[in-house]
Amino acid sequence: MKAVCLLSGGPDSAVAAAIARNEGHEIYCLSFDYGQRGRRELESAKKIARFLGAREHMIVDMSSLKRIYGRGVTALTDEGMRMPERFERSVIVPFRNGIMLAVAAGYASAIGADAIFYGAQGDDARFYPDCRNEFATAMEAAIRAGTGEDIKVRNPLVRMKKSDVIRLGVKLGLPLEDTWSCYLGGRLHCGRCESCRNRKRAFREAGVRDPTKYSG
Amino acid sequence: MKAVCLLSGGPDSAVAAAIARNEGHEIYCLSFDYGQRGRRELESAKKIARFLGAREHMIVDMSSLKRIYGRGVTALTDEGMRMPERFERSVIVPFRNGIMLAVAAGYASAIGADAIFYGAQGDDARFYPDCRNEFATAMEAAIRAGTGEDIKVRNPLVRMKKSDVIRLGVKLGLPLEDTWSCYLGGRLHCGRCESCRNRKRAFREAGVRDPTKYSG
């Protein structure tokens, strides 16, 4: 049983991939350079893939997506935009998970995998439509219609809060210190962007010591 | 009204984009380098976009998809595979239209377009699941769930045969001689691959003089 696991380098996708592995899948990890300012996360993705014993880890260069999104759309790729400290429309990268799942479907079909795992969790589902269960179900239907194959889209964290995900990551023995959440690409996590704040809060709520070094 | 038009460089997508324009859309064309052997088609896509007065023409470099598909999956990217003369599984690029429509959805959301046009036609729908109407409908639903926006996936040729598309292209005054169908990347159309054969047959059935120079 093969599974394609989307791996961003953050804790959520690491836990989702660990679940895939623990279910007995041979895992094929997939990460994307889409021109994100925080592409430092790809180094973390490599460490996690290695830790999990992934059979392959594909890093797909889609950095020209940055041109598609252009200016003034998303602070995650536009270096001219202020990075907000709370959720704002500008932290949404339009249909990012849709694009990644579509590439994952092509990969899954090519290698004969029967599932794609991604790390959407409940806290994000509140703000990001492409982290919701309805989206995963709709995407699975589109993949079935477009390939004629029965490839499942699995989002095992969709009913958990991020703090639950952190607790589960610790329980599974994942090196969470090797994960990356910051939307900016510094040497250390900035500690101020929405994603760093969510990370800090999740460790605190989970009652787990936060191993992350923040610069702010 | 803005529309994103997938443009491969072939006659079908050119006609679909012309329909979008004639409906009054401001058109934003989108083409892909996915490592295809026939990437010569991108030069044709540029000519068509210019002819149609596209507001923008984005060519997205996704050539690392070739690695995703790997060896022995599709003759369209694997130079080691024989290019078949009739339909075979090896001319399918798994979920290619799904990946392209997903990127188109991100683009449409970024620029505020309300529709995506693509050139799936009835002859291809017989063999390629991602050219069928069920797929377009499912993908539209996934895009709505994943963006929260009402972006239509339009496939205006899905009930036409390729010969009908050629006839319509002539009627609309499109420079069909500038389009490219061959799966191989030669100076001329090879005249032998499945796609060249379909092109030849469509012109013949349409009763239209075929302006294409074939090498075989």
Which of A93-107, A164-178, B83-97 has the least mean pLDDT? B83-97
What percent of chain B stands above pLDDT 90? 81
Specify the pLDDT at position A216.
Answer: 83
CA distances from B141 to A86, B30, B133, B146 (A): 29, 21, 13, 9
Structure tokens at A25: 């899948």
- Please tell me the distance from the alpha carbon of residue A162 to that of residue A198, in angstroms, as a whole number: 8
User: Which CATH number does the domain B2-162 belong to among 3.40.50.620, 3.40.50.970, 3.90.79.10, 3.30.56.10?
Assistant: 3.40.50.620
Residue ranges of the domains in chain B? 2-162
Express each pLDDT in B44-82 by its tens digit. 999 999 999 999 999 999 998 889 998 888 988 988 998
Specify the pLDDT at position B55.
Answer: 98
- Please tell me the distance from the alpha carbon of residue A2 to that of residue A115, in angstroms, as a whole number: 7
> What contacts A108, CB < 8 A, 6 or more positions away?
A2, A4, A114, A115, A116, A149, A151
CA distances from A146 to A140, A205, B36, B96, B183 (A): 10, 41, 19, 9, 21
Any CB–CB contact under 8 A between A208 and chain B? no
Any CB–CB contact under 8 A between A29 and chain B? no
CA distances from B93 to A17, A63, B12 (A): 26, 22, 17
B147 closest CB neighbour out of A64, A95, A147: A95
CB within 8 Å: A60 and B73: no
Specify the pLDDT at position A49.
Answer: 98
Please give the model's pTM, rounded to 2 decimal places: 0.96
Any CB–CB contact under 8 A between A52 and chain B? no
B 91-120 residues with CB below 8 A of A?
93-99, 101-103, 105-107, 109-111
Chain position carrying tokens 């109407």: B133
Using CA of residue A64, residue B183, residue B181, residue B92, what is the dihedral sign?
negative
Structure tokens at A71: 């200016």
Residues in A closer than 8 angstroms to B65, CB to CB, are 60, 103, 106
Any CB–CB contact under 8 A between A60 and chain B? yes
Q: Is residue A86's pLDDT more than 90? A: no
Chain B residue with Cα closest to A90:
B110
Any CB–CB contact under 8 A between A66 and chain B? no
Specify the pLDDT at position A14.
Answer: 98
Instruction: Write phi, then psi, for B59 (nearest 5 degrees).
Output: -115, 115
**Residue range B86-107: mean pLDDT, rounded:** 92
Do A64 and B68 contact (CB within 8 A), yes or no? no
Q: Find the farthest-apart pair of alpha carbons in chain A and give their distance in angstroms, rounded.
A: 49
How far A96 CA lies from chain B's nearest CA (Å)?
7
Q: Is residue B34's pLDDT more than 90? A: no
Express each pLDDT in A42-82 by its tens digit. 999 999 999 999 999 999 999 988 899 988 889 899 889 98
Specify the pLDDT at position B216.
Answer: 84
Sheet of strand A26-33, all strands in order from the earlier edge strand to the far edge: A56-61, A26-33, A2-6, A115-117, A152-154
Sheet of strand B56-61, all strands in order from the earlier edge strand to the far edge: B56-61, B26-33, B2-6, B115-117, B152-154
Q: Is residue A157's pLDDT more than 90? A: yes
CB within 8 Å: B99 and A107: no
Residues in B closer than 8 angstroms to A132, CB to CB, are 145
Which of B38-47, B88-97, B187-196 has the least mean pLDDT? B88-97
Cα Rg of chain A (Å, integer):
16
DSSP letter for A77, please. Answer: T
Q: What ipTM is given for this predicted complex? A: 0.95
A2-206 under CATH 3.40.50.1970, yes or no = no
Sorting pLDDT into bands at 50, 70 and 90, what band is A91? confident
Chain A residue with Cα closest to B101:
A99
H or E stretch at A199: helix A194-206
